[in-house]
Amino acid sequence: MSKMKTFALAGNPNCGKTTLFNNLTGSTAHVGNWPGVTVDKKEGTYKKLEEHVAIIDLPGIYSLSPYTPEEVISRNYILEEKPACVINIVDATNLERNLYLTTQLLEMDVPLVVALNMMDVVESHGDVIQVKDLEKKLGVPVVRISALKEDNLDELMRVAYQEALKGRQGKTLIENKDMLHLINDVTIAFKGKGVVNPLFHAVKLVENDEIEAKDHPDLLPMVDEFKKSFHDEMFDDDFEALIADSRYKYISKNCAPFYKKKDPEARVLTKSDKIDRVLTNKWAGIPIFLVILFFIFHLTFSENLFFLGGLIKFDHSCFEGSMFEGLFFTDAGINSPGVILANFFTNITDWITGCVSGWLEEGSWLQGFICDGVLGGLFAVLGFLPQILFLFLFFSILEDSGYMARVAFILDRIFRKFGLSGRSFMPMIMGFGCSVPAMINTRTLADEKERTATVRVIPFFSCGAKLPILTAIAGALVQTFGIGNADLITYAMYLVGMVTAIICVIAMRHTTMRGDVPPFIMELPAYHAPQFKSLMIHLWDKTKHFVKKAFTIILASTILIWFLSNFGWNWKSVDMQDSILASIGQLIQPLFTPLGFGSQLNSLGWVFAVAAITGLIAKENVIATFFTLAGVIIAAAGEDSSLAALIGEEATADGIAESIVMIKGTGITAAGCISFIAFNMLTIPCFAACATAKAELPKGKFKWTVLFWIAVSYIGAAIIYTFLSMFSSDTLAWAIPTFAGILVAAAAAILGVIYYNKKHPVKKEA
């Protein structure tokens, strides 16, 4: 069988490569409306030509110089793997800048097709691009497409296929005569050495490209000789700048004029520009972002939507006793859509547990194992899926619309003064989803120290798996101690994580990870309405990942925890207090005393220690462990009347009730609960994230990173516990947001001082 032909997609960041890739191959790679989403290359198959061809989605690049990892990946791929054709995707709305890469691809001996993407946008402005003329000037086929609207894609592939059959010799558009002379000489020298792609290598060598200089030191004298005799007024002997200038000149003289604007005067401000006047406003930008964030959490978690509960009382007597009871509203107010979905899901899983329980012998070993051990833990985790999906839906909308890129931009303005670039904020925002891709995304950071600092704080951006810890315990807190409002607590905890991250980054950038911030180069993409298809792709990605984890790692740990909590060292069934798990838990429990969930709790208190440890495998485990153990406690309470009295009514209820059982059963304080949430949020992330961090960090930095995580979480939780313990449960409702507020203020003060010092440097004695 002959090898499949390969077509590689190359282009600037955010020009639509992944969108095209997905539509050609029917795959579901992540499309983001900001640059730098695709760092690795992806592969798929296009099946509508006479033979199947492989399609490769390369990382986005602005040039083929070896400055960023993306550039190196893409360059080496084309040079070494020799695709049958390169499809250069060009964002037609940014023609001049995008064609800069094209002029470099042209120099390679590889078939090339230019795909003019985003033509739907160009046409909607009433603009016209003279494709045929452009084709003549570039010397390769140019095909107009819209990756998003799936317009003309088959034509593009047909043209690419024809080109692949023809083959192509590299050519350069550099017109500077002296330069051209030198390039020709070096090309001939390369040919003499039998190097493939001689023209490309020659131009790069003349540009003083570090890779070429290292690989072909023998040809350097030729260039240096020429340099001595050559002097340009503007560039002196900076050949790289001279060549770049030559490329841009060609584009602006020969290509740019083919973009005919409808009426250049009439459209000074685009719609995006107008929106940006407000959203990226110097003063309003950040407050708007925080308000948006709050509404997202409110719509996902609130049991008192828009705080209407205080104004209107809802009569829900008609639902009493039915499965709709408490689904849409309670005495407290209307449920948010996120809560309604979650309640609905819980009703279903409870019904399943009820059925299964009915089939098994009442009070038997098997019933306990299946219902408490397996289903309890599994449904505890899956039960959060609706709210997680809801949250991600909102985040995907923000990302797809182009708003997230603005957030990075707004934050860059502030952060760069203190040692961070906006680029490092993108992986941090991704951290809200999952630390693993977020850490991989730090590859877009050029400065290694900034990158290390960023990888270290990514886990503080609470990921999807940590959400259940937050919501379950916050919900239980509200009900047990009658404090505040669950979504406010959740929101405050997210804020604590973010502020901790900021403080840590600043601390690192001023101590062990000092360095200059590279400039922020990223255009803001045009706003557009999020695409339903791409939203669904994002959600499916999350669901797939989450469900897979629930049925593998989490299911296995749940079963293990159940066994360990039901059996003693003699392998006989015992009460939980005498189980293997209890003895392990009691051993490590004292460690957590300063944090409020250690030895001060009663005989069941070790469950918090165990939950924190199982969380190291996967964060969902914290709550799964919790629920499995709650099941055991409830079962024990049936026989033990003192425990039953302590737990009370809730023992028979469901959902958050399990957390309530844990709180009442162990005697933990509200402050201890919050500290427990904080500890889990800030501590060593899950297994997968650790493995990624180890791979992405420079050699030898991983062990310090683990130490850093332990220290931050321990100290942070201890501070929170000590601080909150000063309040009674009545005043705690305000203490939690106040604490977040104080933290923010403290961070702002530190920033202020650092900024001041920067502006007024201490004068050194000469």
Cβ contact 360:370 at 8 Å: yes
- Tell me which residue of 327, 329, 178, 152 sits closest to 242, measured CA to CA: 178
Q: Report, in Å, the least distance between residue 132 CB and ligand GDP.
A: 21
C-alpha neighbours within 13 Å on the C-beta side of residue 294: 12
Q: Which does 471 bind (CB under 5 to 8 A by kind): ligand GDP, Mg ion, none?
A: none
The C-alpha atoms of residue 485 and residue 508 are separated, in whole angstroms, by 35
Segment interacting with Mg ion, rule: CB under 5 A, options 32-40, 77-85, 497-505, 629-637: 32-40
Pairing mode, strands 53-57 and 112-117: unpaired
Q: Report, in Å, the least distance between residue 528 CB and ligand GDP.
A: 5
The C-alpha atoms of residue 441 and residue 424 are separated, in whole angstroms, by 9
The DSSP code for 373 is I
Residues 9 to 28 in contact with Mg ion, rule: CB under 5 A: 18
Q: Report, in Å, the least distance between residue 525 CB and ligand GDP.
A: 6
Cβ contact 280:523 at 8 Å: no
For ligand GDP, the closer of residues 16 and 338 by Cβ is 16
Q: Report, in Å, the least distance between residue 403 CB and ligand GDP.
A: 11
Strand segments (E) across 70-195: 85-91, 112-117, 128-129, 142-144
Q: Which does 185 bind (CB under 5 to 8 A by kind): ligand GDP, Mg ion, none?
A: none
* C-beta nearest to ligand GDP: residue: 16
C-alpha neighbours within 13 Å on the C-beta side of residue 290: 13
The C-alpha atoms of residue 108 and residue 57 are separated, in whole angstroms, by 18
| Helix segments in 576-640, DSSP class H | 580-588, 606-614, 620-639
The only residue of 38, 117, 336, 435 in contact with Mg ion, by rule CB under 5 A: 38
The C-alpha atoms of residue 551 and residue 533 are separated, in whole angstroms, by 27
Q: Report, in Å, the least distance between residue 399 CB and ligand GDP.
A: 8
For Mg ion, the closer of residues 37 and 607 by Cβ is 37
Query: Does residue 117 touch Mg ion according to CB under 5 A?
Result: no
Q: What tokens were used for 456?
A: 């270290």
Q: What tokens were used for 590?
A: 């004292």
Element of type H or E holding 46: strand 42-46
The C-alpha atoms of residue 33 and residue 404 are separated, in whole angstroms, by 8
For Mg ion, the closer of residues 187 and 444 by Cβ is 444
Q: Report, in Å, the least distance between residue 56 CB and ligand GDP.
A: 12
Q: Report, in Å, the least distance between residue 548 CB and ligand GDP.
A: 24
Pairing mode, strands 53-57 and 42-46: antiparallel
The C-alpha atoms of residue 159 and residue 143 are separated, in whole angstroms, by 8
Cβ contact 687:617 at 8 Å: yes
For ligand GDP, the closer of residues 427 and 468 by Cβ is 427
For ligand GDP, the closer of residues 58 and 182 by Cβ is 58
Long-range contacts of 191-196 (CB under 8 A, 24+ apart): 196/79, 196/109
For ligand GDP, the closer of residues 85 and 496 by Cβ is 85
Q: Report, in Å, the least distance between residue 445 CB and ligand GDP.
A: 17
For ligand GDP, the closer of residues 60 and 422 by Cβ is 60
| DSSP SS3 for 552 | helix
Q: Which does 118 bind (CB under 5 to 8 A by kind): Mg ion, ligand GDP, none?
A: ligand GDP
For ligand GDP, the closer of residues 168 and 538 by Cβ is 538
Q: Report, in Å, the least distance between residue 397 CB and ligand GDP.
A: 11
For Mg ion, the closer of residues 61 and 503 by Cβ is 61
For ligand GDP, the closer of residues 223 and 445 by Cβ is 445
Segment interacting with Mg ion, rule: CB under 5 A, options 36-44, 198-206, 276-284, 755-763: 36-44
Q: Which does 19 bind (CB under 5 to 8 A by kind): Mg ion, ligand GDP, none?
A: ligand GDP
The C-alpha atoms of residue 674 and residue 592 are separated, in whole angstroms, by 13
Q: Which does 15 bind (CB under 5 to 8 A by kind): Mg ion, ligand GDP, none?
A: ligand GDP
Q: Which does 16 bind (CB under 5 to 8 A by kind): ligand GDP, Mg ion, none?
A: ligand GDP
Q: Report, in Å, the least distance between residue 21 CB and ligand GDP.
A: 7
Q: What tokens were used for 545?
A: 């990942």
Binding site for ligand GDP (CB under 6 A): 11, 13-19, 31-33, 37-38, 60, 117-118, 120-121, 146-148, 400, 525, 528, 531
Residues lying near Mg ion in the complex (CB under 5 A): 18, 37-38
